[in-house]
Amino acid sequence: MNLSEAEILKQCAKMCENTLMETLSISFCEVGENYLVAKMPVTPKVHQPDGVLHGGAMVALAESVGSAASYIFLDARDFFIRGIEISANHVKSVREGYVFARAEIIHKGKTTQLWDIKIRDEEKNLVSIVKLTTIALPKTR
């Protein structure tokens, strides 16, 4: 990586402005050699009617962190990154606090990328396992 961790996190924060990520209060909090972590507060705004974190909000968190990781690790200034397939298995309910999504690359192709995303609560309990496939589409000039 050519950018520092602080620069990457700042770039991720800028990408969130006026997007679904901002609406869900998703923020990026850690980056490493081949992973990116984002967090989301668990509040009534992302609850199901019975007061637990909505699975769709977890999937939005996972796609957000995986797509941002693709953008960063592919140095994708010349590409649009899009999610093309996502599957999630939710294994634990959360009512409050924060959840953290860590995206790690499984396959880094020139066109498609495969991400393993684990969502955990503040006590590091596994909440959801997500697999995301992204595609890098060339920007037309």
Cα gap 29→12, rounded to integer Å: 9
Q: What six digits make up the tokens of 121?
A: 């609560």
Cα gap 51→105, rounded to integer Å: 32
Annotated active-site residue in 63, 85, 96, 122: 63
Cα gap 42→116, rounded to integer Å: 22
The crossing angle, in degrees rounded to 10, of helices 55-73 and 5-16 is 130
Contacts 24+ apart (CB under 8 A), 10-15: 11/72, 12/36, 12/38, 12/68, 12/72, 15/68, 15/71
Residue 42 contacts residue 128 (beta carbons within 8 Å): no
Residue 63 falls in the annotated catalytic set: yes
Q: Which residues does the annotation mark as catalytic?
A: 63
